[in-house]
Structure 1
Amino acid sequence: MGLHAALAVHPASGRGAAARVAEAVAARLRPAVDRLDVLTATSVEESRALMRSSHAEGLDVLIVLGGDGAAHQGVQFCAEHDVALGLVPSGTGNDLARALGIPADPRAATDRLARALQAGHRRRIDLGRLADAWFATVLCSGFDAAVNARANRLRWPQGPRRYDVAILAELAAFRPRPIVLHTDEGTLELEATLVAAGNTPYYGGGIPVCPGADPGDGLFDVTVIGSAGRFGLVRMLPGLRTGRHLGHPAVRTLRTRTLRVEAPGWPAYADGEDQSRTPVEATCVPSALTVVVPR
């Protein structure tokens, strides 16, 4: 039997962008595979059921057309079933696709994916493991998680600027708090504003919070912003877009395979998805996922 792929379409991604390009994406993919199932779902449960049905018939590659939320669901399924993952970004943030060097334009991404499928180009990447979920990009807690929660509630503006609006709103209320970090090298206690553990560099629509994170090295890159205060954060924020925040005196970095964050009820997010509140514990699992990407 030849290559069996499924295209998981999340119509609401990117304010309907996925639905608008789904037919064109499927048409570009069909010549590159022997069978293509198109799985259109409006809920996580429905999407999972369709994926399981394709898997029962010999699924080789799951291609996700959507944003980071859709990619997160694809990561769960593929890691659990040893199915390769392909991405066609059409959401707001697209941070996993960005980290893998996939073009932001869905049609360009599809054409490159089709060539990679035909050439058999695949690679293994690490994933973060929580108690009952995987994550591919960044686990965050504190100020940035509060921003993520607020951004998810906003309906305007679209795109990365939604996160900028959420940042300004959260600045008025958030304060540094005492936290405890348990790492491979020991325990760190400090007043902090946020903690971000990156398997890949980006979150929040392209913010390189952990710019050196490499999903092939078996470790998280952890960025901790200490007691910067409101005005310190304001001065630091422009540097977050370019990675210059690492030079700020309130920022410290470390690398670890395991991380436990203990903080006073801080929100926690991974891949932009709500993980409830701290304490939260994560482990970097080497080569946990196969991805189809151009060389």
Structure 2
Amino acid sequence: MTDEAGDATGDVLVLSNSGAGSAEGDVVAQVCRELESCSSRRLDHRTPGSEEEYAAAVASAVGRDVVVLGGDGSIHRFLKSVHDQDLLGRIGPVGVVPLGTGNDLARGAGIPLDAREAARVALTGSTLERGLVVDDTGAVVVNVVHAGVAAEATAHAGDVKGVLGKAAYAWGALRAGLTSKGWHLHVTVDGEGTADDDRPEFMVTLALGTSVGGGTPVAPHARPNDGQVEVLVAHGVSPRARVGFALDLRKGRHTRREDVTLTSGREIVVEAVADEDAFRVNTDGEVEQERVTRRSWRLLDQGWTLRVPTSS
């Protein structure tokens, strides 16, 4: 990470959600005023509507700094488009103003959750290299991807997110924890089987970032710039083990449990032993509705650069 923000020149591409409501629209306007006040560079603010407009806006980021206004889903969408258009390494540093529900990428990076404070960091913060993972369907992972109970939890949380907000994840986790019996999976990291025995798996997590669900420290030791993906496999499927795991997870102590295996690598494969062990996948908070029996991921050689507070 650099110690100084540098004296970047040129204009800045600012991307916001075209579907924002009036309240969020007011916040976006305030953020843009803050961005203008802390930099002499011109802002090219775009709110693309269609996918074609969005892809064109991202393509215009070549050689420019970028500020994304939105939550984890907005960051994921931006980097997915960057990857799909083969633009990795061709865009400048990316600033984030977190306007979502969980904002886990911002939390893990130390970016302020206050929109005006985050706006200043988005243009003047230091730069930190981050990894990017892609799966065998072409989907990218910016923060965390789950198979097993955490994916089920997010699926259940989606039913009540509009009512409960951030608390929806806790409700979904409780429901999934009470109803899921585990999956028999083979997990391979860099060609080596990990926790490859007869025990069922409760959850498999691949992490670049540290938290999910608005601050739950699912991978407290993960580092997005160390050239590795942290892989956590939880086995405890008994009612007592599930409760213990949930309590430890809230405090980030679950990685020390005997029924948890922790490793890291660059290429990961998860396979169901039988068709009835097909699993859901949750990528950066978005759950695939169809269950799968195999999925693989690899850490790309080319990552991206995030603006973070200088003190991070």
* Length-normalised TM-score, structure 2: 0.84
Deviations 1:60-97 (A, max 9, x none): 12211111111101222344423232100011111111
Give 1:27-38 correspondences, 5 Å limit.
27-31=33-37, 32-38=39-45
Select the residue among 121, 127, 131 that pairs with 1:122.
127
In structure 2, what is the Cα distance between the partners aligned to 1:232 and 1:33?
56
Corresponding position of 1:288:
303
Give 1:15-54 correspondences, 5 Å limit.
18-31=24-37, 32-41=39-48, 44=51, 46-52=53-59, 54=60
**Is 1:269 aligned with 2:282?**
yes
In structure 1, what is the Cα distance between the partners aligned to 2:113 and 2:224?
20
- Aligned-residue offset at 1:291: 1.7
In structure 2, what is the Cα distance between the partners aligned to 1:48 and 1:171?
39
Identify the range of structure 1 (213-222 vs 244-253) with the bigger mean alpha-carbon deviation: 244-253
Over the matched positions of the two proteins, sequence identity in percent amounts to: 27
CA contact 1:75–1:85 (8 Å) conserved in 2: no
Corresponding position of 1:149:
155
Which ranges in structure 1 are unaligned for 5 or more consecutive residues? none
Aligned Cα root-mean-square deviation (Å) = 2.3
In structure 1, what is the Cα distance between the partners aligned to 2:117 and 2:283?
27
Deviations 1:126-163 (A, max 9, x none): 1112121221111110000111122223222112x110
Letter in structure 2 aligned against 1:250: D
Corresponding position of 1:166:
172
- Aligned-residue offset at 1:164: 0.6
Select the residue among 210, 217, 228 that pairs with 1:208.
217
Letter in structure 1 aligned against 2:46: L
In structure 2, what is the Cα distance between the partners aligned to 1:157 and 1:77?
30
**Is 1:180 aligned with 2:180?**
no
Give 1:99-114 correspondences, 5 Å limit.
99-114=108-123
- Aligned-residue offset at 1:29: 1.3
- Aligned-residue offset at 1:110: 0.7
Deviations 1:217-253 (A, max 9, x none): 1111111110332332123212212211122222111
* Length-normalised TM-score, structure 1: 0.88
Structure 1 residues 236 and 261: alpha-carbon distance in aligned structure 2, compared to 1, 3 A threshold: same
What SS does structure 2 have at the residue aligned with 1:218?
Answer: coil
CA contact 1:9–1:18 (8 Å) conserved in 2: no
Select the residue among 76, 81, 88 that pairs with 1:77.
81
Letter in structure 2 aligned against 1:103: P
CA contact 1:99–1:200 (8 Å) conserved in 2: yes
CA contact 1:28–1:114 (8 Å) conserved in 2: no
Give 1:56-75 correspondences, 5 Å limit.
60-75=64-79
CA contact 2:121–2:307 (8 Å) conserved in 1: no
> How many residue pairs get matched?
286
More strand by share: 1
In structure 2, what is the Cα distance between the partners aligned to 1:201 and 1:99?
6
Corresponding position of 1:9:
16
What SS does structure 2 have at the residue aligned with 1:260?
Answer: strand
CA contact 1:246–1:252 (8 Å) conserved in 2: yes
Letter in structure 1 aligned against 2:64: D
Structure 1 residues 289 and 138: alpha-carbon distance in aligned structure 2, compared to 1, 3 A threshold: same
In structure 2, what is the Cα distance between the partners aligned to 1:194 and 1:16?
39
In structure 1, what is the Cα distance between the partners aligned to 2:112 and 2:129?
19
In structure 2, what is the Cα distance between the partners aligned to 1:230 and 1:45?
48
Structure 1 residues 158 and 126: alpha-carbon distance in aligned structure 2, compared to 1, 3 A threshold: same
- Aligned-residue offset at 1:16: 6.5
Corresponding position of 2:207:
198
- Aligned-residue offset at 1:194: 0.6
Select the residue among 134, 144, 158 that pairs with 1:138.
144
What SS does structure 2 have at the residue aligned with 1:191?
Answer: coil
